[in-house]
Structure 1
């Protein structure tokens, strides 16, 4: 392993020198009239207000002018981004694939990874997000984690001299509100910035779950679960940073941040059992529960940047230490019918993660070409604590699971234009060392008998290469063709590997699978882009071929009890065609439309199905923005997605429509009114249909709500007039 790590370091250090000897840097030729001075990677295709930017390996969508993003959460800011889907629970997918890596300013965050990521995305405010970068085939400069690709959230930044800032407040129904303040001071060589925000939310949710299992021995059973939940709580976001220019070529930066969530959840659940033949009433019970969920994320980081002579020739270093703590505890009183028997239930789940990351990047021009190389070293450790069962001392269990992962990576990308043709090739080498340790598991067998098992640590070390290739060809001043390829990996998450049972309720259990293998995906894309004035058209055909796909599998344990675990499928193939267009219908009316036809094929033979299963899903998004007067701005946006294939069934279609209005009162004061889910149609229905199990689970949430808010700019002289064109990236929830 040491040899492989040494090879990574040597490749990153020696390759720039080798290439420099082969091609000494020369001054770049002056661009021709109407021609960009940079290669395709840096060419920006823009509509008004830079709403849509495209480069050789990404698309960047502006959300700075989106009304829903100003009053809503990060989930709201993602729901109308082309290629992105967010369900009612906050789970994000990219072109139908839920294995998405979410970054903030190009860096990972434990807040948006692992257990509870969907909750965090639904509660953290979006008003500090400036752009959303979508990278379905990232270059080798980025980690290969996430078979679907990367969503990079770019936060707002300002470099205006002097002091600037803003305050905002938005209020909604049921006591819901969010507020925040930002500040920025540029003085001499130093820039100091900070932000603080708080979001209080209260929401009602309902789950209606009807399932029928067929048992060859006893004939099967039916269970109906009707659960209603009320949750309330807050999310806080604090950040402070400083940039200091040591010299004209050296800058150092430091940042401290904290993100936290604290929610209380009350539940009222009714469970009814029916035997066969249908209609024979079995036992039932009502479950009243109280739950508390906390998620705390804190990090400190330091950066250094050295600018060499010549444009785009620099060396950067980033060091970060991050701690993420997640806890969820549930206490419940269960009353059975008939008879009125009572029992208490308790469950607890906790995950504590420490992560240290060191990243060094070097880039330089080599004539018309561009070289980028670097090292990315990360160490993380996660402790999983689970406790569940009955307080009446009959079936309680507890366990501690420890997961350690070290990643040693080195990469290089080389980009060069050849007339109208541009090529970027990349290679990333990774050594991954994983240790899983089920430290102990304790079972209370009743009668005072406690059984304790100690586990044996298991190592899984592997070395892999991840190549990337991006090609671009300029057909004309207005049209470009692109083609790209990347190899991606979806490593099992910590909760996917933890074999200890996690108690959800009497009829729902969850456990990981320590034998999971990483999913490897080969992704291919062909694209066409057209731009003329404010109008842009983008068409992308894509195909992904995945092996050892990790997916949820539901097992029937009898008596209506279901265990959800994780398994590797044989193979999965999916592809499709995505269309995006934006422009102006009139000088005051702009539009953004996107559509996606997604085909998915699953080889689920190891799940009891015969042959392959396949299906096609159609989805679309629309955004209309009307600048009625210089001070009044209206917005309508929505999306719809058709029936989607899953390994054991399908998910039913979903849709959502939102409205927004903004009034410019003064140059500093803006008032915003938004209405979420106008038609009250947003819900999630999951269907399982196998020979031994049929289930339909319908989840709804009280998404429909109206918010009223304002934003007031502080300092910095007269603010720059806001741009109201919503050309490719204006979003809504």
Structure 2
């Protein structure tokens, strides 16, 4: 039985379990009776948003809870029996009464007393230096992060994580799926506060497409992470928070999508919360076709001999078919009011079939107008498993908490490619490429929080990361010269990459008057082992060990002029660790004329990052301008160079073939500075705007000598100059028109200005998208329609310069597409959250303990 069949069986059984549990929950609900009531103060005034908990004295599984509405009233269904009813609300004393529920009806008003100091109490929270905005606004600004709510993003309805990220302020997604923040692509992705097997190995774009938008609750954009977060990701961290149940009873939704380029998706979110137990089951799958176009025009300026190329034009089109399935299930059990345990498991599979056609046109001095065609057939299968376990304990009601978590992850990727190439209609080359990668990860964490007095809190923690990657690359080749299929010596290898990170952090936050501050220090000890073995017996093994021990401080300051009006100043130090794939010394082989080489000597680079921002939030608008500056040393740059292809003995092939190589290197410095402006404006009751403008400058320094060839094909040296400075712009504006209470329209525009360095000139780019959403069936269902890139303009154009060539490039990752989605929500229970006393210090202000902490 192959792995695809296992996944199909798993999917069928999962859907079957879903229907059984749904039916059981609905049958159980039929035995209940509907009751209602209200909560009032001693002066008989309604108390809105009070928590009302019904605890069944005979069977806790029959317990339930709800919140009062803005008029202090509530409704819920209960099984008849004897109940203890507890009522809690901010600024009120907890009240407990006993009632016998026998039949449907109104049980009357429940009265609660105000706290003795409720009339003059002043907040002592660290949250006093945090700006929060109304829940109807799509994002909010906090001390060390911004939170984006995709629920109001009509343009990405029915899409995936990559579509959602395209709409997040301060985040950009390039045409090849590369995600960047403030012009830098060194972004660290987290799922629920942790690295995740869901994102695949090395955070590939395919993994972003396999996470449905409907399963995302919010995205935390952390441009300058504190010491509590891991130090990786010099551009910042994107923490993807998946949906979890906060409502009682049985709840669920299902979303189906149809679109073009052909795509179909079906996703469901189910949960059941009763008494001490909460379970959830999320899953779905889909089919999607993609189309990418790539054109390169290479001009080799010093190829003067008769056998040398002087021009090469490449037209490439790749069509792929993707199938992805995912399922997550978990349970939370409250051992007591202060202790809970949780466990969850996730499986994701991604299958891809692609057909690529590359047409080469060569202009030789001796043989003009020669052409070559390359046909590539590729398959990819990726299977990921993840299991998470956690324990949360509250020592008291003042915020002293301990959180323990363990995550076990495994990701396996198979890539098989068959390549056939002909020149002038005659057979020239055939390759069979098999690439297998297995990743195994263990993450263990402990986070402790200790309030000190009314205004301060101490946080400390430990984290262990163990990652093992096994690479196997097998390339077989036959050519005109060697018609028998044989191993191609430079490209076939096995490699093992192992890394272990030990991290410790301590963080203290407090407030003096209107001045809030947070100081942190993190220590990370890194050990990396690389074992490389070429399969050819004559090639020796290559092993290396890298060890780093670095301190990463963070400082946050805020000054609050008034409520929702403050200045923010912060500093952090970060590290850019090379991806494991960058360190594997032999190339990734999928094109014999465009080759990526690894660099086993690549080292981390370091960034000192500063931010100075102002934030104000009013009823109709929120604005957050931030000045930033980043200084990076030992920056990782991509060296592009050319060399003449050789056979296994090192002899230059005839006719001569020029190979274009790309290799990561540490070189020089990179300075980034600019103004990042985010705003939200509710112009009228029916018109809203969400915008982001990033005006940034850059100053890159560094040059290196490298090996190339002269006009006679002899080895020589050239200088690659990476120096360059300039100014660029990124902007996004989303406007939402509310036609009525159930119907909304949305238009989004995106612009990225050109950027120029000594070796590359990248042109500007823009795109416009449209979406519409309509609620039907008493708001229990939603129909959404969107068009991505209406004018089909989202494409990257650039010119790259080397010592002996100029390349003009055009790349479009995905053409214009549209999608129609339908969402149905059934049995939406009441949302229940424990009210927070103002004396408490919020445990979620740096990432949320529901994710097990961000460390």
Equivalent in the alignment of 2:739: 628
Distance in 2 (CA, whole Å) between partners of 1:33 and 1:291 is 69
Distance in 1 (CA, whole Å) between partners of 2:323 and 2:247 is 32
1:287 aligns with 2:399: no
Distance in 2 (CA, whole Å) between partners of 1:39 and 1:638 is 37
Measured after TM superposition, the shift of residue 532 of structure 1 is 1.6
Distance in 2 (CA, whole Å) between partners of 1:611 and 1:566 is 13
Residue range with higher mean Cα deviation, 481-490 or 469-478: 469-478
Equivalent in the alignment of 1:139: 226
Equivalent in the alignment of 1:590: 688
Cα shift readout 1:634-690 (whole Å, capped 9, x = no counterpart): 111121101124573132222221111111112211111111111111112232123
Is the partner of 1:68 in helix, strand or coil?
coil
Distance in 2 (CA, whole Å) between partners of 1:311 and 1:657 is 49
User: What does residue range 608-619 of structure 1 map to in structure 2 within 5 Å?
Assistant: 608-609=719-720, 612-619=723-730
1:363 aligns with 2:449: yes
Which of 421, 426, 438 lines up with 1:352 in the alignment? 438
Equivalent in the alignment of 1:234: 323
Distance in 2 (CA, whole Å) between partners of 1:624 and 1:36 is 36
Equivalent in the alignment of 2:640: 554
Distance in 1 (CA, whole Å) between partners of 2:758 and 2:348 is 35
| Alpha-carbon distance change, 585 to 503 in structure 1, aligned in 2, over 3 angstroms | same
| Alpha-carbon distance change, 265 to 33 in structure 1, aligned in 2, over 3 angstroms | farther
Cα shift readout 1:353-396 (whole Å, capped 9, x = no counterpart): 11001000001210111111000011111111112241432735
Cα shift readout 1:520-546 (whole Å, capped 9, x = no counterpart): 100000001112212111110000000
1:221 aligns with 2:310: yes
The 8 Å contact of residues 658 and 676 in structure 1, kept in 2 or not, is answered as: yes
| Alpha-carbon distance change, 40 to 30 in structure 1, aligned in 2, over 3 angstroms | farther
Which of 191, 206, 211 lines up with 1:124 in the alignment? 211
Equivalent in the alignment of 1:251: 340
Equivalent in the alignment of 2:43: none
User: What does residue range 191-340 of structure 1 map to in structure 2 within 5 Å?
Assistant: 191-215=278-302, 218=305, 221-275=310-364, 281=368, 283-337=370-424, 340=426
Equivalent in the alignment of 2:28: none
Distance in 2 (CA, whole Å) between partners of 1:709 and 1:372 is 44
Distance in 2 (CA, whole Å) between partners of 1:42 and 1:435 is 44
Distance in 2 (CA, whole Å) between partners of 1:236 and 1:288 is 29
Equivalent in the alignment of 2:581: 495
The 8 Å contact of residues 592 and 623 in structure 1, kept in 2 or not, is answered as: yes
The answer for unaligned runs of 5 or more in structure 1 is 1-27, 444-450, 721-733
Equivalent in the alignment of 1:176: 263
The 8 Å contact of residues 228 and 268 in structure 1, kept in 2 or not, is answered as: yes
Measured after TM superposition, the shift of residue 329 of structure 1 is 1.6
| Alpha-carbon distance change, 44 to 29 in structure 1, aligned in 2, over 3 angstroms | farther
Distance in 2 (CA, whole Å) between partners of 1:345 and 1:680 is 34
User: What does residue range 474-493 of structure 1 map to in structure 2 within 5 Å?
Assistant: 474-493=560-579
The answer for unaligned runs of 5 or more in structure 2 is 1-114, 479-484, 645-656, 706-718, 833-855
Measured after TM superposition, the shift of residue 611 of structure 1 is 8.1
| Alpha-carbon distance change, 317 to 191 in structure 1, aligned in 2, over 3 angstroms | same
Equivalent in the alignment of 1:641: 752
1:466 aligns with 2:547: no
| Alpha-carbon distance change, 29 to 113 in structure 1, aligned in 2, over 3 angstroms | farther
Which of 193, 204, 211 lines up with 1:106 in the alignment? 193
The 8 Å contact of residues 214 and 255 in structure 2, kept in 1 or not, is answered as: no
Measured after TM superposition, the shift of residue 719 of structure 1 is 9.8
Distance in 1 (CA, whole Å) between partners of 2:828 and 2:418 is 52
Distance in 2 (CA, whole Å) between partners of 1:611 and 1:453 is 34
Equivalent in the alignment of 1:697: 809
Measured after TM superposition, the shift of residue 703 of structure 1 is 3.1
Distance in 1 (CA, whole Å) between partners of 2:667 and 2:364 is 33
| Alpha-carbon distance change, 371 to 286 in structure 1, aligned in 2, over 3 angstroms | same
Cα shift readout 1:576-635 (whole Å, capped 9, x = no counterpart): 111111121111111111111111111122263568311211111101111111121111
RMSD: 2.3
Measured after TM superposition, the shift of residue 159 of structure 1 is 2.1
The 8 Å contact of residues 156 and 786 in structure 2, kept in 1 or not, is answered as: no
1:569 aligns with 2:667: yes
The 8 Å contact of residues 193 and 240 in structure 1, kept in 2 or not, is answered as: yes
Q: TM-score scaled by structure 2? A: 0.77
User: What does residue range 185-196 of structure 1 map to in structure 2 within 5 Å?
Assistant: 185-196=272-283
The 8 Å contact of residues 630 and 671 in structure 2, kept in 1 or not, is answered as: yes
Residue range with higher mean Cα deviation, 695-704 or 515-524: 695-704
Is the partner of 1:586 in helix, strand or coil?
coil
Structure with greater strand share of residues:
1
Cα shift readout 1:186-217 (whole Å, capped 9, x = no counterpart): 11100010111112101222111111233477
Equivalent in the alignment of 2:111: none
1:599 aligns with 2:697: yes
Distance in 2 (CA, whole Å) between partners of 1:295 and 1:394 is 26
Q: TM-score scaled by structure 1? A: 0.89
Distance in 1 (CA, whole Å) between partners of 2:831 and 2:735 is 26
Residue range with higher mean Cα deviation, 180-189 or 637-646: 637-646
| Alpha-carbon distance change, 216 to 627 in structure 1, aligned in 2, over 3 angstroms | closer
The 8 Å contact of residues 492 and 517 in structure 1, kept in 2 or not, is answered as: yes
Measured after TM superposition, the shift of residue 501 of structure 1 is 2.0
Equivalent in the alignment of 1:727: none
1:379 aligns with 2:466: yes
The 8 Å contact of residues 40 and 472 in structure 1, kept in 2 or not, is answered as: no
Distance in 1 (CA, whole Å) between partners of 2:313 and 2:357 is 14
Asked which structure has the greater CA Rg, the reply is 2
| Alpha-carbon distance change, 395 to 717 in structure 1, aligned in 2, over 3 angstroms | closer
The 8 Å contact of residues 722 and 757 in structure 2, kept in 1 or not, is answered as: no
Measured after TM superposition, the shift of residue 573 of structure 1 is 0.7
